[in-house]
Amino acid sequence: MLTERERQVLQGLCESLSNKEIARRLDISEPTVKVHAQAVFRKIGARNRTHAAIIARENGFT
């Protein structure tokens, strides 16, 4: 369902990292993190990053 990169971004969201921190960790740009995060939100039906983290934890994504 999620690509490997989307899973990595979602993991960062679950750790309450900022987009800048996620970008640094994954060695990608902040706009790229935003693109991946939006794709994650759409795929899992999340309204925002907090909701995405809740869904991820409830469904064992992390």
Domain with 22 in it: what CATH number? Answer: 1.10.10.10
pLDDT in tens, 6-43: 999 999 999 999 999 999 999 999 999 999 999 999 99
Q: Answer yes or no: are the C-beta atoms of 37 and 19 closer than 8 Å.
A: yes
Q: For residue 56, give every residue at least 6 positions away whose Cβ sits within 8 Å of its Cβ, in sequence order, or none.
A: 10, 13, 14, 44, 62
For the chain, the domain total comes to 1
Sign of CA dihedral 45, 48, 1, 59: negative
The band of 62, judged by pLDDT with boundaries at 50, 70 and 90, is low
- State the residue range of the domain holding 42: 4-58
